[in-house]
């Protein structure tokens, strides 16, 4: 669906590209609920950001007295989060995952069902992680729909906190992608 360019961009900004469950909710956003929606979206993004694998900034000191305890606690938390995710999946079925590219300005995805019409207003619900129960719910307007079912939507302007977290996550993923491509080469 997407090109294989090095930099993932949408609406002239870095974007996150993934395969995630999403749903188009064709109910137009209610202006009175904007503040509550922004607060909930901020909490969802903060939870997702905390669950993202950032990698270690520096190698832990294995001789530190608490290093082994911290590693055991980390493994237990990872296991617990996985179990919670499985329980959520059973009790709250999610939409089918689809290829998706998004940032603070908008989204591009392939509709699993009948795509919304150009000009349709509603919410795009993106389920970011199996351990985050609530979806990111962004007010949007559909700007184009291709014959192959690719939908492009522009989000209503997001507040600075939401935009900042999305930009930070997109940048980190981009940086990891570059680092993975240019990682150490083996000489056998």
pLDDT on residue 49: 84
List alpha helices for 33-159, DSSP H: 34-51, 67-91
The residues, any chain, with a CB within 8 Å of residue 129's CB and separated by 6 or more, are: 47, 48, 51, 85
User: What is the pLDDT at residue 138?
Assistant: 94
Q: Per residue of the chain (188 residues), give pLDDT as tens.
A: 555 456 788 888 999 999 999 999 998 777 788 888 889 999 888 888 887 765 544 455 656 778 778 877 877 777 777 677 677 666 777 899 999 999 999 999 999 889 999 999 999 999 998 878 889 999 999 999 999 999 999 999 999 999 999 999 889 888 887 877 665 554 44
Q: In the structure encoding, which two tokens stand for residue 45, read together? A: 């993004």
Give pLDDT, residue 21. Answer: 94
CB neighbour burial string for 85-109, b if at least 16 within 10 angstroms, e if fewer: beebeeeeeebeebebbbbbbbbbb
Supply the pLDDT for residue 120: 95
CA dist., res. 154 & res. 138, Å (int): 10
pLDDT of amino acid 73: 81
- pLDDT value of residue 58: 47
Cα-based distances in Å from 132 to 44, 81, 82, 179: 7, 10, 11, 27
CATH superfamily ID and name for 9-51+71-179: predicted glycosyltransferase like domains (2.40.10.220)
């Amino acid at each position: 669906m997407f090109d294989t360019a090095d930099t993932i961009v949408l609406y002239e900004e870095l974007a996150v590209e993934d395969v995630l469950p999403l749903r188009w909710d064709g109910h137009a956003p209610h202006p009175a609920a904007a503040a509550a929606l922004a607060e909930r979206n901020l909490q969802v993004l903060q939870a997702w950001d905390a669950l993202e694998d950032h990698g270690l900034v520096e190698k832990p000191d294995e001789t530190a007295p608490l290093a082994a305890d911290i590693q055991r606690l980390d493994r237990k938390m990872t296991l617990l989060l996985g179990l919670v995710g499985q329980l959520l999946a059973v009790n709250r079925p999610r939409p089918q995952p689809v290829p998706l590219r998004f940032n603070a300005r908008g989204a591009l995805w392939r509709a699993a069902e009948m795509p919304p019409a150009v000009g349709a207003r509603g919410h795009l619900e993106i389920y970011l992680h199996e351990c985050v129960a609530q979806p990111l719910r962004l007010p949007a307007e559909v700007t184009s729909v291709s014959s192959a079912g690719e939908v492009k939507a522009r989000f209503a302007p997001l507040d600075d906190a939401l935009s900042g977290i999305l930009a930070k996550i997109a940048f980190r993923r981009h940086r990891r992608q570059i680092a993975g491509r240019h990682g150490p080469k083996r000489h056998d």
